[in-house]
Amino acid sequence: MYKELWRQRPLLTLPQIIVLLLVGAALFIAVDLNRRAQAGQLVGVGEGDLQLQVDAEATRQVELQVTLEYVQSEDYVAAYARDEAGYVLPGEKRVVPLVIEATPQPTAVLTATPDPIENARPWQAWWHLLTDAPQPSP
């Protein structure tokens, strides 16, 4: 009896094993190709945003170069001397505006407006929501 059990048919035959190996290999290849396709799609995702940042920084660089040229010019030195340092050319008169400080007036004390909720009743709110008509006198 043990010999009969031992000689039973094998679980998988050779063609079945080969088909399973081929299916496994096909699944592995399909998953790998899918992963590579997704990685390829992600390559150019941020390119537009990066190009906008590069353009903005190029514009900023030009602005900074123009500012540098102005700061190194004689016009900037003359404007700084006149506006910031207070220097004047010979024959000019310096005008300094005087600030007159006004005494602050006391602020008026406002009376508090009465809160309509203190005298309101719940039926008045419902009446207004449902009818939009003036409230009847109680």
Alpha-helical runs (H) found in 1-138 = 2-6, 14-42, 47-71, 74-83, 116-119, 122-131
- pTM of this structure: 0.37
pLDDT tens for each residue of 29-84: 999 999 998 888 877 778 888 899 999 999 999 999 999 999 999 989 888 888 88
- pLDDT tier for residue 138 given thresholds of 50, 70 and 90: low
Cβ-contact 70, 76 below 8 angstroms: yes
The vertex-72 CA angle with 67 and 76, nearest 5°, equals 80
Q: What is the mean pLDDT of residues 116-121?
A: 72
Cβ-contact 88, 82 below 8 angstroms: yes
Residue type, 111: T
Looking at residue 41, its pLDDT comes to 81
Mean of pLDDT over the chain? 83
Residue 3 has pLDDT above 80, yes or no: no
